[in-house]
Structure 1
Amino acid sequence: MCRNMTLPELVRVLGWARQEGWNPGLDDGEAFFAADPEGYFLAEIEGKAAAAISVVNHDQEHAFLGLYICLPEFRGQGVGHALWRYALSHAGSRSVGLDGVPAQQANYEKSGFNRAGRTIRYKGNRMAALAEDRLAEDADLPRLIEADRRMVGYDRQRFLTSWFRPCGSRQTVVLGTYSYATFRRCHEGIKIGPLHAPSGEEAMALLARCPKSLGDGPLYIDVPDRSPLERLVRSLGYAPVFETARMVKGARPTAKPPAYYSVATLELG
């Protein structure tokens, strides 16, 4: 049986993601769920959760697929594929994006997804501590959400209204009037995303402003290969540790990203 999942079930599925080595944030559940409460799905076998997937409708034209996991004991039985078909119907006529791991990219192509680039996860160390700029406030949200809309090519207001609001494990730093970066504590280290900056100088300044309140550990950032941010983080000693292909079924979004930018989260784009 395939059905929608609840928020507590989503939190449990994020535990599956941790077991898969995806290293989700400590408090991703509420922000993810806020994006589209009807966009998270479970497959059950004899009352036991067997597989999960998300197809989040961000706006009337664009959706994003993620969290596609089938528990090991149910793999090879068609459970995941049945859930895949069920969940994709939620997107309707929208185009659907995803970030696919190398092992699954050929299967996604068979389902009508076309490659639109790649995303590389880099791991690095904190730079010399700088004084933190101010954290995002509610008054900043319209500007930040509009900047993100231009960056990705569609509206993610529901998701970002929650994502940009501070919580104990996630903070968004605002630099000047245009640049910002969200830092979130994960089970290992801290992920940076989205990062949005018009210049290398401002991007470097943001990378050096990880809030001390989030604790220690390595930094991770998911960088599209067409962003010069890739060259910048390499110059700072970051090393690639993981790669996905950005794939889209349907029309590609018309995005106008800044010179330096990173992905918010591979699960929601």
Structure 2
Amino acid sequence: MEAGYITRTMRPDEVALAIEWAALEGWNPGLHDAETYPVADPHGFFVGVLRGEPVASISVVKHGPAFAFLGLYIVRPPWRGQGFGSALWQHGMASAAGRQVGLDGVVAQQANYRKSGFELAWRNIRFEGRGGTLAPEDARVVDLALVPFETVCAFDRAYFPAVRTAYLQAWLAQPDAAGRAWMEDGRLQGYGLVRRCRAGWKIGPLFAEKEHIAESLFLALGSMTGAQEPIYLDLPQANPAALALARRHHMEPVFETARMYTGRAPGVPMHGMYGVTSFELG
């Protein structure tokens, strides 16, 4: 590794650079990810700088005192294989000391992540379909903004290893996005959000207690996108009902990640996870 290389916390304006690199990798980030991601942990984004030039990025976002999620691990192509990524990885992981860490890594890097103490929990698959779906009228499907935020947070906690209040608040309020919820018998039983990305739209999260609830929310979210626009759903392969939903709507797999954790995978109800929030922050 060359002299003159330093690793440090990103300045707020540098997060957008990492998002741009993610776009160049074909990860299709959301239009407002650079603004929403840092809300989760302003000190969780790191950059490797070689003689004044940023060459590598990583995020290790602390979702509370016990859990963190690693993402945006990118070394620009001209500087790969020279140790810059490894040094930044060590810097980022040190910031999460004492916490369990999760990540969504490309499958080809799974062996390398295992060397760092990560174990495969399941695979996530990105499916692509077309928007502009028709959604039947159903009084139980409501605008997510009408549901008390505290109620959404409590429901979300069942499907994520930590409380993520600040991040969720920013995520649900971002521009160019819309959320829907399933309210029945005075109780929240599912919710989802669709946001505009560099190409098309992504649905995430999509959490639901029952399969028919996920189906209705998926249709409602899809109906808010343009006809024939690309729409993406990142779902856990370990949930057969989520796979069935994607196939029922003629979606095709286009990308895959390995969801890995240090230590035993958190005990989340996989049967209710129809779409992860993001590959970068979990």
TM-score by structure 1 length?
A: 0.93
User: Structure 1 CA distance, aligned partners of 2:168 and 2:182?
Assistant: 18
* 3-state SS of 2:90 partner: helix
Q: 1:138 to 1:77 in 2, by over 3 A?
A: farther
Q: Is the 8 A contact 2:179 2:191 kept in 1?
A: yes
Q: Match for residue 149 of structure 1?
A: 157
* 2:248 equivalent in structure 1: 235
| Cα distance in 2, alignment partners of residues 46 and 153 from structure 1 | 39
Distance between the aligned counterparts of 1:150 and 1:114, measured in 2?
22
Q: Are 1:224 and 2:230 matched, yes or no?
A: no
Cα deviations by residue, 1:182-240 (Å, 9 ceiling, x for unpaired) = 10100111000000112222211111112766545111001111221111211221111
Whether 2:51 is the aligned partner of 1:40: answer no
1:204 alignment counterpart? 215
> Do 2:222 and 2:231's aligned partners in 1 also have CA atoms closer than 8 Å?
no
Partner Cα distance (2:109, 2:87) in 1? 16
What is the alpha-carbon distance in structure 1 between the residues aligned to residue 136 and residue 175 of structure 2? 21
1:128 partner letter: L
CA distance in 2, matches of 1:151, 1:180: 11
User: Quick check: 1:128 aligned with 2:134?
Assistant: yes
CA distance in 2, matches of 1:15, 1:214: 24
Does residue 80 of the first structure (1) align with residue 93 of the second (2)?
A: no
Counterpart residue number, 2:259: 246
Aligned to 1:256: 269
CA contact (8 A) 1:95 1:252 kept: no
Query: Whole-Å Cα distance in 2 between the matches of residues 258 and 84 of structure 1?
Result: 32
Q: Which moved more, 1:134-143 or 1:235-244?
A: 134-143
2:120 to 115, 119, 123: 115
Larger mean Cα displacement after TM superposition, 3-12 or 206-215: 206-215
* 1:153 and 1:256 in contact (8 A); partners too: no
Name the residue aligned to 2:168. 160
Moved more, 27-36 or 210-219: 210-219
Q: How does 1:14-53 map to 2 (within 5 A)?
A: 14-53=19-58
Residues 4/240 of structure 1: CA separation in 2 closer, same or farther (3 Å cut): same
The CA deviation at 1:154 is 1.9
RMSD: 1.8
- Structure 1 residue ranges without an equivalent (≥5): none
Structure 1 residue aligned with 2:3: none
Cα distance in 2, alignment partners of residues 30 and 212 from structure 1: 26
1:97-116 alignment, distance < 5 Å: 97-116=102-121
Number of aligned residue pairs: give it.
Answer: 268
Rounded Cα–Cα distance in structure 2 between residues aligned with 1:58 and 1:5: 18
CA distance in 2, matches of 1:239, 1:257: 21
Does structure 2 conserve the Cα–Cα contact (< 8 Å) formed by 1:200 and 1:260? no
